[in-house]
Chains A and B, each alone.
Chain A
Amino acid sequence: MSESILTVRDLQKKFGEFEAVKKISFSVNKGEIFGLLGPNGAGKTTAISMLTGVLEPTSGTAEIGGFDLRKQLDQVKKVNGLVPQDLALYPTLSARANLEFFGRIYGLRGKDLKTRVEDVLRIVSLTDRADDPVGKYSGGMKRRVNIAAGLVHHPQLLFLDEPTVGVDPQSRNHIFDSVRRLNRERGMTIIYTSHYMEEVELLCSRVAIVDQGEIIALDTIPNLIAMLGGGVIQVGLQQVNEDLLTQLRGIKGVKQASLSQSPIAPPPADGEAKDVSPNVPTYPVVKVETLNSQEALVNIIHFFNERDIQIASLKILEPNLENVFLHLTGKKLRE
């Protein structure tokens, strides 16, 4: 049933020696809202730029709307709509003049152009202010025009690159609504890029988690969260040896125990993760994947108490995408 509108094959981009996108492959189904989640510098914008013809890939290709990215770029460009990360607008021109220009460079003219511009102005609820220079708009309104500019030519596949950066909560909700409506009412496929896991969780059916130019996980959100199992507990200790890890694995409720690649980062201000100890550890951290975090927690504490081993820090990772990322990379999405 799921027909793919985008199939990416070994797409790679190098800037000199630096490989910003490392031969990624994935596909997106028609009618999906697909998320690209990753921290700043992960390579999301670079990947999108290649898929929209802004950057030439170093190697690899993609098929978009049945056209080959390398060989049929002009057709691909008509399928695509791009909403760049930056406010890519002309500030001294009105919203209407901006939108008319972006329609014209897709070949729209005359009455057709006019009706489409009015249509997208309605989608982003800016008809009233359409003749004011964009430079005078609030940040949220600019974002909405920015989105509208990618819609004038009615693309089948819309790339939204971090469309909510620097936006007030109200405009943000408005943007989410618009994205959902475009998807539901107009059947537009959407690729949504963000480093906010909440947005991706809220909007997307499937998510590719990107880090350092690679896709490190790709699945539906429930499946991704299931990677954390019953939850992950990070335990900081003075000393860790293989023997201890083996014993930990034997505890009831524990699925896996391993030495974490990197030490735990300082606790976040918004309290997404629960901290038992506020100390920033400078000691090894054991990552314990559980079948049931509550049961495992009690048993683990009991285990260490019995052996008189001091626990330096203890952290329970909530089952969310943020922690999936932390679990996969040992890093936080936002630093």
Chain B
Amino acid sequence: MDIEEINQIIDRHHGEASALIQVMLEIQSKNHWLPGKALERVAEKLNVPMTRIRNISTFYKAFSLVPKGRHEINVCMGTACHVRGAPRILETIQEETGIKAGETDSDLKFSLETVNCLGCCALGPVVEIDGKAHGKLSSADVPNLLKSYE
């Protein structure tokens, strides 16, 4: 992500300090993580102290200060998904991608997380990739599902 894009995001919010979280969210969703240089730029342009930005970026789980993959996989481990085989799905995803929950692969393709309930238990076991829910999965479906992501 280049500095121009960051400037554009900041300009869209008229450089207002109150838009800090929105600006950070936009950078996060475009870039999948918040690089230090980008945050320095935001601090300077919005005129907010770096302490504030670091406070916010470590407070909310939506932000990441380390590189994340292009595709974010959330495996639901809630009770309903759990009894319907979520652990096996997670295991298959870990085998296919070579990363464990909480990690990102070295090509920055996938980041893997577990979540505690996505709120659609009837679809269990559910895996959410880039915000799209894939329900009623079996571990046999996993390889093809992952292949459909570039």
A and B are partners in one complex rather than unrelated chains: no
